[in-house]
């Protein structure tokens, strides 16, 4: 009887541990945040991206660059240049703050007297939190071929070939369906 109870408790704990470590389904490109593409004229567009929470500013810039490449290809162009307009010069990374944990109601020595206590070394560590949502916006000018494009223009197809698969885009800018979860062997 004791073995059955022990086996049931072990089985329940393994089941709960398995549920806790199951990875979530990966996000598609459109689910990473809010995108907007605003045409300013026939070959100039404003690409903006408001990131989902907990995304770094550098990742948001990279995703915005991929979105600019996608918009360039979908509009029938191959090259684009990020214009140096005033809104790009004033963009700053989002504000961050350091948050300290609430101090314990008892002095540290109080817990040290209890023999079963093991202090958590990471409990008193401060955390950095982002106060503002990460937002990135680029004004891009698109060009049909290399002859008309300036020397510092990006090749949109090359960006989609190299960074597109990382974010679930094909080399033509189409959103790829998420990869199916690997089959588990028994």
β partners of residue 51: 33
Residue 144 token pair = 């049909």
pTM of the predicted model over 0.85: no
Q: What is the mean pLDDT of residues 59-70?
A: 93
Q: What is the mean pLDDT of residues 90-101?
A: 75
Question: In 53-184, which ranges are continuous DSSP H helix?
Answer: 57-74, 86-89, 108-112, 156-163
Nearest CA-CA partner of 161 in 84, 69, 90: 69
Mind listing the pLDDT tens digit for each residue in 156-185?
A: 999 999 999 999 899 888 988 776 656 555
Mind listing the pLDDT tens digit for each residue in 79-88?
A: 999 996 555 5
For the beta carbon of residue 155, count every other beta carbon within 10 angstroms.
Answer: 16
Q: Residue 82's pLDDT is what? A: 92
Residue 28 token pair = 């598609």
């Amino acid at each position: 009887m004791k073995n059955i109870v022990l086996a049931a408790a072990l089985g329940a704990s393994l089941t709960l541990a398995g549920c806790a470590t199951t990875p979530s389904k990966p996000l598609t490109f459109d689910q990473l945040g809010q995108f907007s593409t605003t045409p300013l004229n026939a070959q100039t567009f404003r690409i903006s991206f408001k990131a989902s929470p907990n995304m770094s500013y550098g990742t948001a810039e990279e995703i915005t660059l991929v979105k600019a490449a996608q918009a360039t290809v979908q509009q029938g162009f191959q090259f684009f240049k990020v214009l140096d307009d005033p809104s790009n010069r004033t963009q700053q990374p989002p504000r961050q703050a350091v948050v300290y944990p609430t101090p314990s109601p008892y002095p540290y020595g109080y817990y040290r007297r209890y023999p079963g206590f093991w202090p958590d070394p990471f409990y008193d560590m401060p955390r950095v939190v982002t106060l503002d949502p990460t937002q990135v916006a680029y004004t891009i000018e698109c060009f049909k071929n290399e002859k008309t494009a300036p020397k510092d223009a990006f090749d949109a197809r090359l960006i989609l070939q190299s960074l597109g698969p990382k974010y679930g885009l094909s080399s033509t800018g189409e959103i790829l369906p998420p990869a199916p979860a690997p089959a588990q062997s028994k």
